[in-house]
Amino acid sequence: MEQLQAILNYQEVDKKLYALERELAGSAERKEYVKAKKFMEAAPEKLDSLETKACAMKAEAAKLEEEYVKTQETLSDFDNLDELLESGADISFYKKKAQAKADKLKKLKADLNALIANINAASAEYQELKKQVIAMQKQFAETKKKYAEVKASKDGEKTAIEAELSTIAAGISPELMQKYAVKRKERVFPVVGELTGDRCPFCGMEPPLAARNKLTGGATIECEHCHRIIFRK
C-alpha cells in the first residue's frame, strides 16, 4: 500500500507538469513554430518533385516536337501529287493519306501546346514556392525564437516540479516507476486509477475476474483496454 500511495502522490504532482506541457503544446507560439517547421521540412521535396515533373514534361515536349517536324516533312511527299495523277494514280488513296498526316499534325500541335502550358504552370508554381520558402525562412527563425522564449519562461516552474517528482520517485520501486514512465511517455494521463466497482475508472471496461483477484495489498494490474494502471484499496 505504501508503494501505491507513493505513486498516487507522484501522479498528483505530475498533474502540474502535465498541465504545463499541455499549456506549451497549445500555445499560439508553438502552433506557429510547428506550422513553419513543417513547411520548411516539406518544401525541399516539393521543389524537387516540381523540378522532376518539369524536366519530364520538357523531354516529352522535345519528342513531340521532333515527331511533329518529321510528320510535317512527310507531307512534302505529296508536293508532286499532280505528276502522280498524270501517271494514273488513285487520287482517293493519296487524299486519305494526306488527310491522315494533316490530322496527325493537328493532334501533335494540340498535344504540344497543352504540354507547354503545363510546363509553364509547373515552372510558375516552382518559382512561387521558392518565394514562399525564402519568406518562410525568416518566419521560421522568428517563430522558433518566440517559442523558445515561451518555453524558457516556464523553465523555473518546470524545474521545481521535476525536482519534487524526483524526490517522490526515490520512494517508488523501479519496476512500478518504469511502468508509469512508459505510459506517461505515450501521453497517457492520468496513468493510475482506482477501480470503480469492478470497472476501470478511465474506460469503463471490466477487467477479468482473475486479474481483479490479484488486486490485494496495493498490487496493481494493467487495463486490457486502455492500458492504464489500476488498483483497488
pLDDT, one tens digit per residue, over 72-125 is: 777 665 555 555 555 554 556 656 776 777 788 888 888 888 889 989 998 999
Statement to judge: residues 25 and 137 lie in one domain: yes
- Residue whose grid cell is 494493467: 222
Mean pLDDT estimate for the chain: 87
**pLDDT at residue 164 in the model:** 97
**pLDDT at residue 150 in the model:** 96
Statement to judge: residues 166 and 182 lie in one domain: no
Statement to judge: residues 118 and 188 lie in one domain: no
Statement to judge: residues 179 and 148 lie in one domain: no
Domain count, the chain: 2
Domain span holding position 12: 2-170
**pLDDT at residue 199 in the model:** 92
Statement to judge: residues 152 and 74 lie in one domain: yes
Of 127, 146, 170, which one is at a domain's C-terminal end?
Answer: 170
Q: What grid cell was written down for 65? A: 516536337
Statement to judge: residues 143 and 204 lie in one domain: no
Statement to judge: residues 122 and 194 lie in one domain: no
Tens of pLDDT, residues 138-169 = 999 999 999 999 999 999 999 999 999 999 99
| Cross-strand pairs, 196 | 199
Statement to judge: residues 94 and 9 lie in one domain: yes
Statement to judge: residues 8 and 39 lie in one domain: yes
pLDDT tier at 217, thresholds 50, 70, 90: confident
Q: Which comes out higher in pLDDT, residue 160 or 216?
A: 160
Of 170, 192, 216, which one is at a domain's C-terminal end?
Answer: 170
Of 120, 144, 170, which one is at a domain's C-terminal end?
Answer: 170
CB atoms within 10 A of CB 207: 21
What gap in Å lies between CA 128 and CA 122, rounded to an integer? 10
Q: Whole-prediction pTM value? A: 0.69
* Strand runs labelled E in the chain: 192-194, 220-222, 229-231
Statement to judge: residues 181 and 88 lie in one domain: no
Angle at Cα 58 formed by Cα 54 and Cα 59, nearest 5°?
Answer: 120
Statement to judge: residues 108 and 182 lie in one domain: no
